[in-house]
Amino acid sequence: MGIKMKTWRYLPYSVHTGAENMAIDEAIMDGMKNNHDAQPVLRFYGWEPATLSLGYSQSYSREVNAEACRQANIDVVRRPTGGRAVLHQYELTYSVIVPESEDNFKGTIIQSYLKISEALLKGIKAVGVSAEIVAQARSSHMGTAACFDAPSWYELAVGGKKLVGSAQMRKDGILLQHGSIIFHFDTELLFSLLKLSNEEVRQRLIKSFKTKACALDEVWTRPVTIEELERETCLGFEEILGINLIPAVLTNEEKDTSQRLVQKYSSLEWTMKR
């Protein structure tokens, strides 16, 4: 008899507000912490309305142009993970939630980034995009408040331009990593949402950003749908991690917890806490 493959729960693509998305990720994490037999989770989602997400430690008052966000109907949410600001608009977002004791993730944070990047790379290459894994951060890089302006450890790039931005946290023995696969960048909109000293600085940063980041529609050989990329990425995770993905829905406990956590993630106290 062959070795029985491990199964993960797979939560197919669904669209939520920024607060709901962060609440669902944390609710799954919370349930896993309290259930030692819980299966790891791979989840895909989108954002409606478009949302600017801040890394956990970013300063809202120093970096967010609140009036521009209001005028553009852009929500603002603070992630539980680190990193810099991301405009979630035209993208496929993934999250991986897994006990640190799981065989594929027993190593360091860097090693777990690599595993996930290898799985994502399989999916992205399968839709005809010649991405590669960036093995090391640019140590001399001085970034802006915006994510995607430089590759970091084991993230995906095309021609040196960052394609996928990810962030990870570990809490109570559970790992959460989520990230954005951008289909189209509205770079001008992104930089209008950030506080910058003047228009000259803004234009210089936009120009610089475009040399360091790319979206799928800039590098694909043919148009790709979210459904196709999701399907191929699932196959990549199954192959790289040696798992079976079983389609699932949120448990009642996860739904209840996420509804409670939405209040946190939609509160000004949380969003403006730094």
Q: Over range 3-12, report the average pLDDT.
A: 88
Q: What percent of the chain has pLDDT over 90?
A: 81
DSSP per residue, 240-274: HHTEEEEE----HHHHHHHHHHHHHHTSHHHHT--
Give the model's pLDDT for residue 210: 93
Q: Is the model's pLDDT at 141 over the cut of 60?
A: no
**Could you give the CA distance from residue 112 to residue 134 in angstroms, rounded to a whole number?**
14
- Annotated catalytic residues are 147
State the pLDDT at residue 195. Answer: 94
Give the distance between the most distant pair of CA atoms in the chain: 67
* Cα–Cα distance, 237 to 115 (Å, whole number): 9
Q: Which tens digits make up the pLDDT trace of 24-57? A: 999 999 999 988 788 999 999 999 999 999 999 9
Domain spans, the chain: 6-268
Tokens of 133: 């894994």
| Cα–Cα distance measured from residue 230 to residue 16, given in angstroms and rounded to the nearest whole number | 17
Beta strands in 17-89 (DSSP E): 41-47, 51-54, 75-78, 86-88
Mean pLDDT of the chain: 91
Residue pointed to by tokens 């399907």:
231
CATH 3.40.50.2300 assigned to domain 6-268? The reply is: no
**The model's pTM:** 0.91
Percent of the chain with pLDDT over 70: 92
Task: Evaluate whether 8 touches 40 at the Cβ level (below 8 Å).
Answer: yes
**Tens digit of each residue's pLDDT (9 = 90 or more) over 66-116:** 999 999 999 999 999 988 899 999 999 999 999 999 989 988 888 888 999
